[in-house]
Amino acid sequence: MMYVSTTERMSFLADNPPVQELHVCDSQLFSAIRNHMRALFVAIYSPEGDARQNEPALALRMEMMKWLTSPLIPNTDLLLSFGLVNELHTRHRWGEYAVREVMALKDLISRYREEGSVLNKEFVQVFCNLTVEFGQDRLKIWCHRNERDLFRALLDGLTVLEDHAFICSLAEYRSCPPADALIRFGPLRTHGMAKTPEALITSPAYRRLVRFVWKGLTDEEQFAADPLVPEHNWLTTMRSVRHSVTDSARVGASPLVEEPADDIVFFAGTKGADRGMHRCVLVELPGDWGVLLRPGTSQLIFAPLRNDCDAIAYRHIIDVEEGDYLLIHDADADFGEISVDAAKAPLAAVWKKALADLYKRQSGLCVQKMKDAGISLRHLHRAAESWMSLNGSVIHAPQRRDHFQALLTCVIDPELIPPRSHNGQAVPGWRLAWAEVAASRSTAVEHGVMESAIVNEQLIVELRNELGHLRDMVSPDGGYHHLLTPESGLAGSVRFDPVISIASGFAAPQEELGKPMKLLVAEQYRYESGDAL
């Protein structure tokens, strides 16, 4: 990382007021593809369906976003991979309209691939001019890490773009010395699928911002308003020069080929109903995977740019940055099992023996009595066998108090445990036995929490000891799997997953949080700021 002093940054800003050069491109052919993609999406997307049922539609939507915000040239691979080009299958599943849209898209996409993208051509031309003007080392491209090869392919034969020609995260942006020109594809939005860090505009580290945007995709109105002084908008106060570029390809008179709409807004409005959703952030990991996490949670993080003393620590997700590593571990330590001591659970020993006697004698009758008593569990035989045993770290018993009461008062002899007088009041036997069960559960929970705290603490100590080795082994392009040594007193392993990006504006059901999932599935949980949760 290169050190850039505050004075260097501030002087650069004072001496070089940033200028925006906006290249807005229009293509009839591409507009037609956009329109047909929207129509096909509507035909195959089911608003009531879940992410798995809607996978083809979600993949289509994701692909469309890439076409709109990156140099990716449309192709028909996606239609093929989901069987959409199979007429019979498509007609059967989604109807005749979908088949027509697929056919139109196939034709348009193959024509477009022959013609080439006017946006990409404009980029190549401008990049060559900028290289002459400033020198290639003074140019940077801000893009998603996965898009770097697309830019390399565009400039294939003209120049070679090394990794340092790209900025893929805010952390990289902050650590880079100011550039002469920063290149960026797509509109500027704070939400949705074209989300861009406002720092790109509010914290300029360039002389010229060169942007390539498809017609119809405007910047968000309030984008780059100062967070503390909202009346000051850094985008509207930036000097701007606009170039419009149109390609010559014609599609013919078609009602679909009109003024291009804002597809990003359109697709943002197409998502499933919100059912018990929790706000979360999407942490993007390599290989088009990601994990949704609650914003307030602490995660074990390796931050390679920090000093040794605070490189590995639990951090709030708000403090995690692109380039850090999310640590997922299954570390465990053998603290010895705590088990139920029969001497400390005398009542459990009594009712469990009675239950065991009854079940062994007449298991059918025992289960019938349980049913009649209102113990409405699906597997009563398995439950009875579990409740009879007296081992493990807790007293196995019904989870619900009313089930426990029913077991001791209706299934086995209700007089088995005599009532006891307490403060002049008789406490029934089943309540005394329930108190014993509850106490064993709280001990087990306490033990578990303490074990977990000890493991977490020891894990940090162990990883800090290995820091030199870890710094050598981790790589931003893929994860690293670190096996814990027995000397550490821990067993298991730790996976280091590089954080590619963190995007807020997601809401997902509880069961999806913390679970690695494909990005296109995670996209389903993106919500707009106006959505009620």
Partner 1 sequence: MRYFEGDVLHEATPTWVEAALSLGYRWRQSCNDTRRIGLLSMPCGSEVAGLVALGALRSDLERATANHVDTHYDLLLRRCRERMAALRRGDSTELPSWDVRNVVENTCWRFASDNESPDEIVIEDRTHQRLIKRGGKFIPNPNGPCRRYIRRESALGWQLHNLPLPQISRGGSALELSIYSTLPGCNGPILEDNLYRSYDGLVLVGQGAARDTTYMQKYYAVGFASDNCRLPLGELLTLHSKEKKYIQRLGFLNEHAPDNSGHEAWLVVADGLPALLTAERLFPASDIIGVCNRDVAIEATDQLRDWLNGIIRYYTDIHTENSLPSVLPEGMLLRVLQRKAT
Residues that bind partner 1 (CB under 8 A): 3, 5-7, 9-11, 13-14, 17, 170, 173-174, 190, 195, 197-199, 202-205, 226-230, 232, 281, 295, 306-307, 309-310, 317-321, 502-504
**Using CA atoms, how far apart are residues 159 and 123, in angstroms rounded to an integer?**
14
**Shortest Cβ distance from residue 318 to partner 1 (Å)?**
5
Pair 153, 491: CB distance under 8 Å: no
The residues that bridge with 509 in the sheet, in sequence order, are 277
37 near 60, Cβ under 8 Å?
Answer: yes
Report in angstroms how near the CB of residue 89 gets to partner 1 at its nearest.
41
Q: Give the helix, strand, coil percentages of the chain, each rounded to 5.
A: 45, 20, 35
Q: Rank residues 281 and 411 by Cβ distance to partner 1 and give the closer one.
A: 281
Contact predicate 394/436, CB 8 Å: no
Provide the minimum distance between the beta carbon of 341 and partner 1 in the complex, in angstroms, as a whole number. Answer: 29
How far, in Å, are 129, 312, 324 from residue 492 at the CA level?
Answer: 54, 18, 22
Contact between 387 and 352 (Cβ < 8 Å): yes
We find the least distance from the C-beta atom of residue 526 to partner 1, in angstroms, to be 14
**Burial class of residue 242, CB neighbours in 10 A (0-12, 13-18, 19+):** exposed
Q: Which is nearer to partner 1, 152 or 278 (CB)?
A: 278
Cβ nearer to partner 1, comparing 65 with 281: 281
Closest approach, Cβ 375 to partner 1, in A, equals 46
CB closer to partner 1 out of 47 and 227? 227
CB of 213 to partner 1, least distance (A): 20
Nearer to partner 1, 17 or 135 (CB): 17
Give 200 or 408: the residue with its C-beta nearer to partner 1. Answer: 200
Q: How far is the CB of 233 from partner 1 (least distance, A)?
A: 11
Q: Using the minimum distance from each CB to partner 1, give the nearer residue, 203 or 409.
A: 203
Least distance in angstroms from the C-beta of 506 to partner 1: 11
Helix boundaries (H) for 52-198? 55-69, 77-81, 87-94, 96-115, 118-134, 148-154, 170-175
Would you say 170 or 300 has its CB closer to partner 1?
Answer: 170
Q: How many residues are listed for the chain in this entry?
A: 533
Q: Report the C-alpha gap between 207 and 215 in whole angstroms.
A: 25
Closer to partner 1 by CB, 137 or 319: give it.
319
Q: Tell me the residue type at 347.
A: L
**Helix 87-94 and helix 96-115, axial crossing angle in degrees, nearest 10:** 130
Return phi, psi of residue 182, to 5°. Answer: -120, 125
Pair 281, 525: CB distance under 8 Å: no
Backbone angles phi, psi at 339, to 5 degrees: -125, 165
**CB distance 217 to 176 below 8 Å:** no
User: Toward partner 1, which CB reaches closer, 174 or 464?
Assistant: 174
User: Taking a C-beta distance cutoff of 8 angstroms, is the pair 303, 498 a contact?
Assistant: no
* 139-142/179-185 β-pairing: parallel
| 154 versus 463: smaller Cβ distance to partner 1 | 463
Rounded-to-integer distance, Cα 497 and Cα 476, Å: 8
The least CB distance from residue 306 to partner 1, in Å, is 5
Residue keyed to tokens 């070089």: 16
Shortest Cβ 363–partner 1 spacing (Å): 54
Contact 66, 193 (CB under 8 A): no
In angstroms, give the least distance from the CB of 315 to partner 1.
11
Instruction: Look up residue 76 and give its DSSP letter.
Output: S
